[in-house]
Structure 1
Amino acid sequence: MKEKMHSGLRFENSTLDEVDARILTALDADARLPTAELARLVGLSAPSVAERMRRLVNEGVVRAYTVEIDSKALGYQIRAMVRIRPLPGKLHLVERLIQETPQFIECDKITGDVPFLARLVVHSIEEMDDVLESLSEHAVTSTAVIKGTSVKRRLPPL
């Protein structure tokens, strides 16, 4: 695996520089920035920024431009983190059930005794009970309701 060192940071399979880091930081703050505005912010021409963006996409550094949705504004009053431990022989079935349950808005496979850590949004405690009950025949769950967010999703150090 090719690695490049830059300013004490290691970038695998990439040729990121300080300008790329400024572009990524600006896009993290507002993914809808027009190329001309992005160019002005980083001190390059619009064609140069467009070419850098193409390279960042081609290298897999930028995978998508996305929108952040407030689940509470959509009526989902409860957010929770759910650790899910499938019963023996049920790993793939449980993974499929998680994928097919729209209230699970994100799920990571993790190391340790509990292979899944999922983010759940529901309208009520009763809905949360229904969702978790649908897994109970195939998995053991442990749920923590999210009270607030101390650090919202952000870029890693560039």
Structure 2
Amino acid sequence: MLDAIDQALISALMQDSRRSLKALAQISGLSAPSVAERLKKLEERGVITAYTLEIDPKSLGYQLQAIVRIRPLPGRLQEVERQILAIAEFTECDKVTGDDCFIARLQVRSMEQLDRLLDRLNHDAETNTAIIKKSPIKRRLPPMN
């Protein structure tokens, strides 16, 4: 379980993972060495698994995002998973229960590129695609308490 100080540190890092130990010490009321020790313990426990960088895909020319539900044809599950892994424009993918085996997020520069990428899966899977208009909730943590 996380105490209030751990929660404050994690929240601060979620807002800006580049915060210095000094800044985190001010936020938490601890010394910088104490903050470093807390972070080390959170990493060792697997609570903190990475410090990340967030980039706006539009700044790289990716104008469209899509959620793709993917249902492999019988006997093609592993091949479809291999294909998804090989297509770099798939930026997230979950293997799920239900009718579809995968739900993935795809970043593309155009509708034509979307069609070309999905065509690569057509021999091995059925797809259902929804274009993302807006993301009112960006990736966030569930409640920590």
Q: Which has the higher contact order (CA 8 A, sep 6+)?
A: 2
TM-score by length of 1: 0.90
Identity of paired residues, percent? 53
State the SS of the aligned residue for 1:65: coil
Unpaired runs of 5+ in structure 2?
none
Residues 67-124 of structure 1, C-alpha deviations (whole Å, 9 max, x = no match): 1110011000110000000001111110010001011011011111101000001111
Q: Distance in 2 between matches of 1:112 and 1:52?
A: 40
Partner of 1:101: 87
Partner of 1:84: 70
The letter of the residue matching 1:84 is: I
Name the count of aligned residue pairs. 144
Matches within 5 A, 1:45-60: 45-60=31-46
Unpaired runs of 5+ in structure 1?
1-14
Q: Does 1:41 align with 2:23?
A: no
Q: Distance in 1 between matches of 2:90 and 2:133?
A: 17
Q: Distance in 1 between matches of 2:45 and 2:118?
A: 39
State the SS of the aligned residue for 2:118: helix
CA RMSD of aligned residues (A): 0.7
Q: Does 1:27 align with 2:13?
A: yes
Q: Distance in 2 between matches of 1:51 and 1:137?
A: 52
